[in-house]
Amino acid sequence: MPQPQLSPRKAVAPEQLLYTAAQVRELDRLAIASGIAGFELMRRAGQAAFDLVQQCWPDHSPIEVFCGGGNNGGDGYVLAALAAEAGLPVRVWALAAPAALGGDAALAWQWAQRAGVAVTPWRGELPAENSVVVDAMLGIGLRGEVREQYGLAIQAINTTNVPVLAIDTPSGLCSDTGRILGLAVRASQTLSFIGLKRGLFTLDALDCVGELSFADLAVPRDVYTTLAAAQLDGAVSHLNLPAMLAQWGPRPRNAHKGLAGHVLVVGGDYGMAGAALLAASAAARSGAGLVSCATRPEHIAALVAARPELMAHGVGSAHELQPLLAKASVVVVGPGLGQQAWGKELLVAALAANKPTLFDADALNLIASEPQLLFSHDGPRILTPHPGEAARLLACSTASLQADRFAAARMLAQRFAASVLLKGAGTVVATDAALYLCSGGNPGMASGGMGDVLSGVIGSLVAQGLSPQRAICLGVAVHAEAADIAAEAGERGMLASDVIDQLRGVINGYAALS
């Protein structure tokens, strides 16, 4: 009999896709239609979870399984039955009456009964000191806020200092959006089945999922192919940096700087010269042939001293910017631009040039206040907002935007006819009808200038001939990998310039492929 295969955290689901809960339920239905009984899938899920418990925490006892009333609870009952049959101490805390279970979950409960598992209604008990907890309460079936009894159980689990395995999805976490629905289990490990859920990689999920493993439950490849042939609205492609770098390939041996493009960074109002310098430096370190920086005249000496490879130009008006725009392959406008008359004048000039343009920071804030500005631009557009900027562009609250980052990124892409990168934990990219997710990066990136570096990286890739879609996907993955390498020395105190220092190795594949 085929056994479910476990893969480590950085592996992704078949076809590099991350799925919605509805899509995973359809995969489950197609697997059953292919000839695999529903209870057999549940048995495989319970077996994979039991194997992971044994692999990760062999010295913890007893195994305490918190079971809900659906198929997620059924997976927990299977695990408990297998543990009992192996002679291991195990007990089930029932959050729903076992006698009310139906279908495959009822069969799993009956198996646990035959195996001698003690099943007790949960009444507020805390897990034992050296136990391992299995969260099999809610899974991907949660609708709305967590109900009180489940919330109390989640609190009890989270207050203990014992390892926790979440089956499929930590209870209380929305598997479509990564949002906590009131309360959520903070797991040490999460084991996802059949298809990885897109919400496990963004927003609140990063504090709930722990280490992530995947078990395909030996579902035939044809099942995934059948679903892929249908409309996969909402499916997300998980970005794979080594694969993207390999696809890009090396430079031709006769390459020269003219072939590698010319990036123009526009920004750096008074007090914000560093933002423009960071973006321009990142563009140079990412392989652009030429990098120019249009900024306040007072900043030129400092920029040249810091990075002599840049062509720094002092501009006081749109008229002085025009010849620089004419020479550029791509424009990055916004880092340190400010929202005063000078910044707006330069933005309007950049828009009129109709070059491929990346809009970031204050350029986005100016556009949010006058959206019609953007529609005067006829070239390819890339928008790279953080959640606050994105909320201003959509005229909504940051909280409502963060409630579904995938929908927000797609709405921005459609409304502004642009490729969009929505920054944050689990960065989301929306281009045309496609969605992508970058799961790299770390909390050390919560410091000034990181977004400026990202803008420079993406602008450089566009200058080197990549389409906006490929540039934004490769750029965010390169930036995240460089930040993860920089964070090896510690997350607190990490600077944007530390990330720039790692870009060269990453973009040449030395770090990402090692």
Residue set of the binding site for K(+): 72, 135, 171
Residues 491 and 493: their CA atoms lie apart, in Å, by: 6
- Angle between helices 362-369 and 341-353 in degrees, nearest 10: 90
Q: Are 221 and 12 in contact (CB under 8 A)?
A: no
CA distances for 149 relative to 66, 90, 109, 164, angstroms: 12, 22, 20, 19
Residues 292 and 280: their CA atoms lie apart, in Å, by: 7
Provide the 8-state DSSP code for 173: B
Residues at the annotated binding site for AMP? Answer: 423-427, 451
Among 38, 36, 116, which residue's Cα sits nearest to residue 77? 116
Structural tokens at position 443: 């909390």
Residue 25: burial class (beta carbons within 10 Å; 0-12, 13-18, 19+):
middle
- Give the gyration radius of the chain's Cα atoms: 26
Relative to beta strand 311-314, strand 63-67 is unpaired
Residues at the annotated binding site? Answer: 71-75, 135, 139-145, 150, 168, 171, 275, 336, 386, 423-427, 451-452
Residues 199 and 73: their CA atoms lie apart, in Å, by: 20
3-state secondary structure 406-466: HHHHHHHHHHHCCEEEECCCCEEEEECCEEEEECCCCHHHCCCCHHHHHHHHHHHHHHCCC
Q: Are 387 and 362 in contact (CB under 8 A)?
A: no
Structural tokens at position 374: 């953007």
> Residue-wise over 454-472: b if at least 16 C-beta within 10 A, else e?
bbbbbbbbbbbebebbbbb
Q: Within 13 Å and on the Cβ side, how many CA atoms surround 282?
A: 32
Residues at the annotated binding site for (6S)-NADPHX? Answer: 71-75, 139-145, 150, 168, 275, 336, 386, 452
Laid out side by side, the sheet with 189-193 consists of 6-7, 211-215, 189-193, 164-167, 132-136, 63-67, 90-94, 118-121
